[in-house]
């Protein structure tokens, strides 16, 4: 089976629709964003958020990267490739506020055709290095669900040398034979299959919003000059499978969300 809970997806979607009959007709701008996602699998919205707000959030998160008790580094052959904040939604309430922003809710609701649920959140810093590509610096497909949506926020400006998220346009619907034989595919293999013109580096600045259906082929390019710090939020129609760590949210952040919108967080474990 290529995707987790693939056979159950339609029944899980229907159950979500019946549990929360909140689906509403989107505005024109939201519908246009979703139409691009349906065609290309990725869209970049310039100046979607106030840069200073994200810079301020990044400043609050920065000390956590220096705390070994709340981070998980990725080290290969004595090279630090990446580090992430463990259970970030329990560490900063502003992060929860960003994750549940009304624009994200409306886009996810329109794309998923139901009340969306936040299933996971990651805050990662990826470092320049001289080693080979590791893990998700190769092309891969996220198999968390048959269909879901991921939001990306850079906390520093990212040009082509800064390790941008990179997507193969249209690949969520156009797979090749035996695409799921391997998890990681080297860039040259994917370039030969899809063509260089379909491989889109998502260079963007703080305040821009990147949205993707990451069941298409994608990777994070290796930073060459400066570290890349990035926030991602996955919205789904069902919780992450048992194979994934269940993400948590702090109780006070959860209670700050109005009752009528708490469906956004009901895939998460609420902690003190």
- Specify the length of the chain in residues: 272
Calpha distance 50→73 (Å, rounded): 30
- pLDDT attached to residue 1: 47
Reading phi first (left if > 0) and then psi (alpha if -120 to 50, else beta), residue 67 is in beta
- pLDDT attached to residue 272: 84
Strand order in the sheet with 199-201: 199-201, 165-168, 218-220
Calpha distance 121→10 (Å, rounded): 24
- pLDDT attached to residue 269: 96
Query: pTM of this prediction?
Result: 0.96
- pLDDT attached to residue 243: 63
| pLDDT, one tens digit for every residue, the chain (272 residues) | 467 778 899 999 999 999 999 888 899 999 999 999 999 999 999 999 999 999 999 999 999 999 999 999 998 888 899 999 999 999 999 999 999 999 999 999 999 999 999 999 999 999 998 888 988 999 999 998 999 999 999 999 999 999 999 999 999 999 999 999 999 999 999 999 999 999 999 999 999 999 999 999 999 999 999 999 999 999 999 998 766 778 999 999 999 999 999 999 999 999 98
Assign 148 to helix, strand or coil: coil
- pLDDT attached to residue 160: 97
Calpha distance 11→129 (Å, rounded): 45
Rg (CA), the chain: 18
Calpha distance 104→58 (Å, rounded): 19
């Amino acid at each position: 089976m290529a995707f987790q809970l693939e056979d159950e997806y339609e029944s899980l979607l229907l159950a979500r629709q019946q549990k929360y009959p909140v689906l509403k007709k989107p505005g024109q701008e939201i519908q246009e964003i979703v139409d691009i996602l349906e065609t290309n699998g990725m869209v970049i919205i310039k100046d979607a958020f106030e840069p200073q707000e994200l810079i301020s959030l990044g400043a609050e998160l920065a000390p956590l990267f220096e705390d070994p008790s709340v981070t998980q580094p990725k080290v290969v052959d004595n090279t630090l490739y990446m580090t992430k904040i463990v259970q970030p939604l329990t560490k900063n309430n502003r992060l929860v506020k960003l994750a549940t922003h009304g624009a994200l809710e409306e886009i996810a609701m329109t794309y998923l055709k139901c009340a969306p649920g936040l299933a996971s959140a990651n805050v990662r810093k990826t470092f320049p290095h001289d080693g080979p590509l590791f893990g998700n610096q190769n092309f891969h497909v996220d198999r968390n669900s048959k269909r879901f949506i991921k939001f990306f926020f850079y906390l520093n400006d990212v040009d082509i040398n800064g390790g941008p998220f990179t997507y193969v346009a249209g690949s969520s619907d156009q797979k090749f034979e035996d695409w799921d034989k391997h998890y990681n595919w080297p860039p040259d293999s994917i370039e030969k299959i899809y063509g260089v013109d379909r491989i889109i580096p998502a260079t963007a600045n703080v305040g821009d919003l990147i949205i993707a259906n990451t069941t298409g082929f994608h990777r994070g390019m290796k930073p060459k000059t400066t570290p890349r710090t990035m926030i991602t939020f996955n919205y789904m129609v069902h919780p992450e499978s048992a194979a994934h760590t269940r993400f948590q949210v702090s109780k006070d952040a959860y209670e700050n969300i109005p009752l009528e919108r708490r469906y956004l967080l009901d895939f998460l474990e609420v902690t003190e």
